[in-house]
Amino acid sequence: MRFVVYGAGGIGGPLGVYLWETGRETVLIARGAHLDRLREAGLTVVSGEGHRTVRAPAVGHPRELEPRPDDVYLLTMKAQDTEAALRDLRAAGADPERSAVFCVQNCICNERTALRYFARVYGVMIVIPGTHLEPGVVINPITGNHGYMDVGRYPAGTDALAEEVTAAFRTAGYAANLHPDVMAPKGAKFLGNLGNAMEAITDGRGDSGPYMERTRAEGEARLRAAGLPFEEAGSFQARVKANRGTNVGVEGASKRGSSWQCLERGQGSIETDFLNGEVVLLGRLQGVPTPFNAVLQRVANDMARRRDRPGRHTAEELFELASAEA
């Protein structure tokens, strides 16, 4: 088995390095200045156990690899880049019927998109802290393990490959669990990630509690109406708490999430269309307004387009905007 980690950022970078260090054949796919650093000096991984630089193989595009029947593709990019990555994999020769694609990502749309291109698709729910703010450096600020995962076949079930990959994740230092209904915990994580845009827009300014209560209520209602699964919050949080390691303070590690990091890096894009935007999409299909998610989607995308830094609005200002549209 060869692991091809597509997206060597805050999640994929450490995952690829940890797999490589256990003796698993692994290749990272990265881009831009980050790829240049990986090729020149290796990837520096900063964790609760210290700093180390690892020279794992890295390429800039799937076409640089000769596809093999034993390849396992781990998608670890943001959701806005998923479909282009799937097209590139197929164009580079990945077998649409035999190649295995694992969506090691947030959001609940990636697996369905992958199934359009590949027959063997797996979901991976991740609760993994990660920071990627500079080329060649990724931070995994946690001890005990590297983070928690649920792994299963999409849309449901498990199989021998899911078991083997889950075991490889465990050997690499993750608390990984085989889950026959993996989209339920992914749904629970998705609802929690609806706050990513709030964090990016406000940079913690104001009391986000009232706004996020309305945002989550819109999300839960729309998932229920669509018949999409999500694990009850208490059960999900208890499982994560029982299995996940402990966050630690690491120099250079951001205490903000991935959407905040996208704005801080001036990346020009953000994952909000596939988080809050997913709730907006379901609402439009169901004929129901979702103003609290819609405002987060619109403002976050505008900030990303303008390359604004985090902190343009307070939570109270956003509440006024959403209330005016309700």
Q: Please report the pLDDT score of residue 249 as a whole number.
A: 85
Q: How confident is the model at residue 221 (pLDDT cuts 50, 70, 90)?
A: very high
Residue 252 has pLDDT above 90, yes or no: no
Q: How confident is the model at residue 193 (pLDDT cuts 50, 70, 90)?
A: very high
Average pLDDT, whole number, for the chain? 96
Q: Are strands 71-75 and 246-247 parallel, antiparallel or unpaired?
A: unpaired
Average pLDDT rounded to a whole number, residues 278-303:
98
Q: Please report the pLDDT score of residue 22 as a whole number.
A: 97
Residue 253 has pLDDT above 80, yes or no: no
Amino acid letter at 153? R
**pLDDT tens per residue across span 113-136:** 999 999 999 999 999 999 999 999
Rounded Cα–Cα distance for residues 24 and 37 (Å): 22
Q: Please report the pLDDT score of residue 250 as a whole number.
A: 82
Lowest mean pLDDT among 19-33, 42-56, 83-97: 42-56
Rounded to two decimals, the pTM is: 0.96
Average pLDDT rounded to a whole number, residues 230-247:
96
Q: Please report the pLDDT score of residue 48 as a whole number.
A: 83
Percent over 90 (pLDDT), the chain: 95
Spatial CA neighbour of 19 closest among 2, 36, 43, 41:
2
Average pLDDT rounded to a whole number, residues 280-297:
98
Percent over 70 (pLDDT), the chain: 100
Q: How confident is the model at residue 104 (pLDDT cuts 50, 70, 90)?
A: very high
Residue 204 has pLDDT above 80, yes or no: yes
Q: Residue 241: which residues within 8 A CB-CB, separation 6 or more?
A: none
What are the phi and psi torsion angles at 316 (to 5°)? -65, -40
Q: Enumerate domains of the chain plus CATH numbers.
A: 2-181 (3.40.50.720), 194-228+254-325 (1.10.1040)
- 86, 168 Cβ separation under 8 angstroms: no
Q: How is residue 71 annotated by DSSP?
A: E
Residue 292 has pLDDT above 80, yes or no: yes
Rounded Cα–Cα distance for residues 294 and 193 (Å): 15
**pLDDT tens per residue across span 7-35:** 999 999 999 999 999 999 999 999 999 99
